[in-house]
Amino acid sequence: MRIYHGSYCAVEMPEIRPSRNNKDFGQGFYCTELQTQAERWARRYGTPVVNVYEYTEPHSIEVLRFPTMTEEWLDFIVDCRNGKPHGHEIIEGAMANDQVWNFIGDFVRGALTRKQFWVLAEFKYPTHQIVFCSQRSLACLKYIESYEVEK
């Protein structure tokens, strides 16, 4: 399967760099199967570059999947965004984009109930992310190419 990573440069050798802990699925190397989404990610930078990889699903690594936005997905993202560590090596699921994250923030603060959160989140366009959280998981990626996108 081809997956994409939006960046400001070519990333031939993906790595997990220490970063802020409040990402959807914690620290790791984030990719998506949606090329247009990777292009949106890349456009945040002065020189937007999309990296293309061949992803071979591992047999020796369990992949935590959230096929849809569920209560479990919501709770997992809230935990990760609050810095709670996890032991997963690869996690795949919907992305809490900025608008959905605002709803999650409102939910955490008690401004929204779970039911209200789901009503608001239900109508957002589909997203996808897959994060590689360990060196071992990065071995599942083979760099193919990079290309620059227009701002």
142 forms beta bridges with 54
Dihedral sign of CA atoms 53, 58, 91, 73 in order = positive
DSSP conformation class of 137: H
Give residue 68's pLDDT band: very low, low, confident or very high (50, 70, 90). Answer: confident
Pairing, β 29-31 against β 129-132: antiparallel
Can you tell me the distance from the alpha carbon of 136 to that of 140, in angstroms, rounded to the nearest whole number? 8
Structure tokens at 131: 């994060």
Which residue matches tokens 């589909």?
Answer: 126
Give residue 96's pLDDT band: very low, low, confident or very high (50, 70, 90). Answer: confident
- Residue 132 pLDDT > 90: yes
Can you tell me the distance from the alpha carbon of 55 to that of 17, in angstroms, rounded to the nearest whole number? 20
pLDDT of residue 44: 93
Pairing, β 63-66 against β 90-93: parallel
User: Tens digit of pLDDT for each residue in 34-60?
Assistant: 999 999 999 999 999 999 999 999 999
Instruction: Compute how many other C-beta atoms are within 10 angstroms of the C-beta atom of residue 117.
Output: 20
